[in-house]
A and B are shown apart, each in its own frame.
Chain A
Amino acid sequence: MQLANIISSRMLKRRISRFLMHGLILTFLVYLLFPLIWMISTSFKPTAEIYSGIPTLIPKVFTVEHYLTVVEEERLLISILNSLYVGIITAMIVVIISLPAAYALTRYKTAVNKLVMGWILTSQIFPAILIMIPLFIILRSLHLTDSLSGLVLVYVVWDIPFVLWMLQGYVKEIPIELEEAAAIDGATQGQIIYKIIMPLLLPAVGAAVLFAFISAWNEFFFALVLLKSPDLTTLPVELARYTGIEGQARTGPLAAASFIATIPSIVLFAILRKWFSSGALQGAVKG
């Protein structure tokens, strides 16, 4: 009898604590998600409702007029295509050149390792302002300013540290015996990297591709300084211009355009869901 009491009171305690924990997590999520929800809600409200002075989370009148405004303006569409192009090419190049490097860093223990890993770390501490002006001069002498290829080049270099760090954590986990067997069968190093390591690392490679894409899709500062032609602007720069000209009066269309800009990243993160929840970062964290 007494034992049953103890057990049931313990169960009650556990239930209460579980309830509290869900409550706390939900509080976090309200903070983390509210701005996005508000933006989405604004994008579907008629202008009159936006300025009505009454906060409504779910629009009283539902309208897509702001989205039509956005689509009718060709420049936004062009900037989306530019961002897609830059993001995809960047992601592909980064992974193709980082994979052999990650392999070299894990499998060969030489002084070069320390140099490269040291650079990965130190490169993080320099503010972009130090690099911006000399970079502009170098790219201009290569005729790569005001060109999407130039921007891709900058993004590739910008993404290398993180992608490299991510991949080498995974290469470490691959048993060396696999490579030894392949080498005995006469496989070249290139074959080992792209035919044995890469397939095994497919989830990590996929994650690296998505990260590289998102960081290129999101980047603002370099695109702002390096691109001048209106036909070449990327989406973040176009969004900044969008507010610059008309300001507050365009709250609705701006919310719509911002939401469009956010969709690819959210979709990609949903795809990455498994990767995050499986704790795949562990390898990288262990270092």
Chain B
Amino acid sequence: MANPVTMTAPPRNRNLDQLQLLLPIMVPVLLISFIPLVRGIYIGFTDYELGGQINFSGLDNYRIMMQDRFFWRSMGVGFLWTAVVTALQIGLGMILALLLNQGLRWTSLYSVLMLVPWAMPPIVRGLMWRQIYSPDTGALNLILTQLGLIDNPINWLASFEWALPAIIVAGVWGEIPKAALFFLAGLKTIPGSLYEAAELDGASAIRKFRHITLPMMKPVIAAVVSLSFMWNFNAFGLIWILTQGGPGGLTRLPMLAAYEEAFRYGYVGYAAAIGNVMVIIISIFLFFYLRLQLKERTG
């Protein structure tokens, strides 16, 4: 394929041309994103406390972490939360996308309405769900009491039994639209002729899904799974507003643990170290994501 650029500009200047076009984004990204990040990673190897001196401390933070019961607990909660929310959002998002891809009437209206949770400011999402779970005025308690399913209102977000399911329901709720939107876009790229051929062979709906839809959607699913994993593992705002990590640290996700270490106790170095460990965990998943993407490109 002929490259137009080589036709219009001397090859020598191409790198320069490209840099010129990229400069307006590269300078702010370096200054606001890259440099602070590198510095933040370094702080994870120091004993920096709020207002104190920054001294390199090697792997001390990570040795402390190994013994830190609260750290391990927050990692456990983090994995449970990430796995459940990601699985539910992928499953439910796929079902919703398939339903919206059937050419039913009102589909375009449905597809707009389904985006509502995504359109809401995260802080409002939290406030809204807090309202729903509220012990005295919340919709959930009022409705369950009216139906006679419970006798006394439950303080969902403060209950050891219900706090985690409650934040999961709220978390999945906010993530379904994104997943469904991406899946829907992916479904639209599958050529209809594939399905027509399968229908001629008398394939059932389930067979068509397994042998056409699923393989064709593989790259999209891989992308959504990886992105969701990152976003869910790094979740903060919604849970901060709903439970602040309580009751008794039961919903204290890694990001909340790091935030508390830094801004409540002032252990900035240790907080950054937790951040570094989170990055390593996520990187392992990113590795799989990139490999899948690569396979798709060459295959």
With contacts A125-B283, A127-B278, A129-B262 taken as known, whether A108 is within 8 angstroms of B5 at the C-beta atoms is: yes
Question: Is B259 interfacial (CB-CB < 8 Å)?
Answer: yes
**Residue among B18, B104, B142 making CB contact with A55, cutoff 8 Å:** B142
CA–CA, A31 to B96, complex, Å?
12
Nearest CB in chain A: distance from B212 CB, A: 17
From 45 to 90 in chain A, residues with beta carbon under 8 angstroms from any chain B beta carbon are 50-51, 53-55
Contact A51 B4 (CB under 8 A): no
Residues 184-230 (chain A) with a chain B CB within 8 angstroms: 184, 189, 193, 214, 217-218, 220-221
Residues B22 and A50 in contact, CB atoms below 8 Å apart: no
User: In the complex the two chains form, what is the Cα distance from A84 to B102 in whole Å?
Assistant: 39
A125 and B237 CA atoms in complex are apart in Å by: 16
Determine which of A28, A36, A127, A273 lies in contact with B128 in the assembled complex, contact meaning CB atoms within 8 Å: A36
Interface residues on B, range: 35 or more
Inter-chain contacts of A232 with B (CB < 8 A): none
Would you call A55 and B189 a contact (CB within 8 A)?
Answer: no
Interface on chain B toward A: helix, strand, loop, or mixed SS?
helix
Q: Once the chains bind, are A134 and B18 in contact (CB under 8 Å)? A: no
Tell me whether A270 and B112 are in contact (CB under 8 A).
yes
Q: A235-246 interface mask toward B, CB cutoff 8 Å, 1 = contact, 0 = none?
A: 110011001000
With A129-B275, A220-B237, A239-B124 in contact, is A176–B255 under 8 Å at CB? no
Complex partner residue of B100 from A25, A51, A130, CB under 8 angstroms: A25
Asked if B182 CB lies within 8 Å of chain A CBs, one says yes
Q: Please judge, given known A-B contacts A101-B24, A127-B258, whether A32 and B104 are in contact too, CB under 8 Å.
A: no
- Segment of B68-76, B173-181, B195-203 engaged in the interface with chain A: B173-181
In the bound complex, do residue B18 and residue A130 qualify as a contact, i.e. CB atoms below 8 Å apart? Answer: no
B227 touches A133 (CB 8 A): no
Query: Nearest CB to that of A56 among chain B residues?
Result: B142
Task: Report B125-158 CB contacts with A as 1/0, cut-off 8 Å.
Answer: 1011101101011010011011000000000000
Residues of B27-68 whose CB lies within 8 A of A: 28-29, 31-37, 39-41, 43-44
A157, B220: Cβ atoms closer than 8 Å:
no
Q: Are B33 and A262 in contact (CB under 8 A)?
A: no
Residues of A within 8 A of B127 (CB): 39, 239, 243, 254, 258
The proximity string for B residues 209-251 relative to A, scoring 1 for CB distances below 8 Å and 0 otherwise, is 0000000000110010001001000101100010000000000
Nearest CB in chain A to that of B289: its residue: A121
Main secondary structure of the interface of A (DSSP, over half): helix
- Smallest Cβ-Cβ distance to B220: which chain A residue: A285
Residues of the A chain whose Cβ atoms lie less than 8 Å from the Cβ of B259: 129
Q: Which residues of B contact A279 (CB under 8 A)?
A: 184-185, 188
Q: List 30 A-B contacts (CB under 8 A).
A: A24-B95, A34-B132, A35-B173, A38-B128, A39-B124, A54-B142, A98-B25, A100-B21, A107-B5, A127-B234, A134-B35, A134-B40, A135-B32, A137-B39, A138-B31, A218-B121, A220-B122, A235-B121, A236-B123, A248-B134, A255-B131, A262-B121, A269-B112, A269-B118, A273-B112, A279-B188, A284-B185, A285-B185, A285-B223, A287-B219
In the complex, besides A123-B33, A134-B39, A262-B124, 20 extra interface pairs with C-beta distance below 8 angstroms are A35-B131, A36-B128, A42-B131, A100-B21, A107-B5, A125-B282, A128-B234, A130-B44, A157-B33, A158-B33, A176-B4, A220-B237, A248-B137, A251-B134, A262-B120, A266-B116, A276-B112, A276-B181, A279-B185, A279-B188
Task: Report B's interface with A, CB cutoff 8 A.
Answer: 3-5, 7-8, 14-15, 17-19, 21-22, 24-26, 28-29, 31-37, 39-41, 43-44, 92, 95-96, 99-100, 102, 104, 106-108, 110-125, 127-129, 131-132, 134, 136-137, 139, 142-143, 145-146, 173, 176-177, 181-182, 184-186, 188-189, 219-220, 223, 227, 230, 234, 236-237, 241, 254-255, 258-259, 262, 268, 271-272, 274-276, 278-279, 282-283, 286, 290, 293
Closest 6 pairs (CB-CB, A-B): A130-B40, A281-B185, A55-B142, A104-B21, A134-B39, A134-B36
